[in-house]
Amino acid sequence: MFDQLGGLGRIVKNKTITVKLNLTGEPRWRLAGKPPGETHYTNPSVVEAFVYLLQGAGPRRIRLVESCAGTAAPMEEYLLDCGWPVRRLQSAAPRLEFENTNALGKARRYSRLKAPDGYLFPAFDVNHSYVDTDVFATVGKLKNHATCGVTLSWKNCFGMTPASIYGDDAGDDEPNESPMKGRGSVLHFGLRPPSRSAPQELDPGSSRAPGYRVPRIVADLVAARPTDLAILDGIHTIAGGEGPWIRGVRPVEPGLLMAGTNPVSTDAVATAVMGYDPRAELGTPPFDNCDNTLRLAEARGLGTTDLKRIDVRGLSIRQALFRFSA
């Protein structure tokens, strides 16, 4: 798959690569008794294979990151709680690092990412890992999302926001470096602002509806932190929502891996593979109650959703088609 993209070496050789995983929700959540990696988490076997291939491509440093739900503890501890083979990952890549980006982590200060022509925010304060890197990759999951319709490589970027600043228990003036809660009040519903240490909303009087806010925040984040490599784990996943806490979700097995060098175009193809129109408007599945994040990102010049303009290699969309709607 990576050979069809021109090889990993041209992307990562002698560079630092930061890899954002998708570990949505706490490790205790299960669906049908399956491990999270076979339902709503990025599968550790996919990550292990990717790390092994990265190591062979000659990077200077590989860093795995995620804003781990409900904690600022070291990411290695969180991954062990999730049942991940941490030591095997470390053996696959001696220069492998881990960082929980839910708080300040290993840096002395937060880094600021500016969102050009932002929809909701002019900039975001984030863990240093998203700035202190040459290459940024996301390893997302091929699945639906209750708020955004689908959650793929670009929605995975929503987790870049540290709960210490954007969480329900974030400090009013300064970050709370021991966050325990999610980001619903600040980002989904706009019931309170982020910590005053970070840039505030452009228009506090804008809609508070999650279907309006979350797609725009994601588009702002994708603009602020460009993605160099988008990977989607669709081997074992779920349909109907982003996790077991969503009523009606069910395990599915599309048996697919996808990758691309533009997150908007990669996710447009993935949306089509799921049986949806990537250019669909509000009110059309899967964007029944939300704006289409792909179209919002496209309007900012971040990539195209026009399938006729996207170079698809390997399986065709028709061959890979796996309809997620019941």
Q: Is residue 134 in some structural domain? A: yes
Instruction: Provide the H-helix boundaries in the chain.
Output: 9-12, 44-56, 75-81, 86-92, 163-166, 210-224, 263-273, 293-299, 317-320
Tell me what pLDDT residue 326 has.
Answer: 66
Residues of the chain with pLDDT under 70: 326
Which has the closest alpha carbon to 121: 95, 157, 94?
157
Q: Is residue 200 in some structural domain? A: no
How many domains is the chain partitioned into structurally? 1
Q: Is residue 169 in some structural domain? A: no
Tell me what pLDDT residue 92 has.
Answer: 86
pTM above 0.85, yes or no: yes
Q: Is residue 326 in some structural domain? A: no
Q: Is residue 24 in some structural domain? A: yes
> From residue 53, how far is each of 12, 58, 229, 256 by CA, in Å?
11, 9, 14, 18
Q: Is residue 143 in some structural domain? A: yes
Q: Is residue 243 in some structural domain? A: yes
Which has the closest alpha carbon to 238: 228, 249, 227, 224?
249
Tell me what pLDDT residue 85 has.
Answer: 93
**Structure confidence by residue, pLDDT tens digits, 111-124:** 999 999 999 999 99
Look up the domain containing 9 and give its range.
3-115+124-164+217-320
**Structure confidence by residue, pLDDT tens digits, 179-188:** 999 999 999 9
Q: Is residue 297 in some structural domain? A: yes
Cβ atoms of 303 and 263 closer than 8 Å: yes
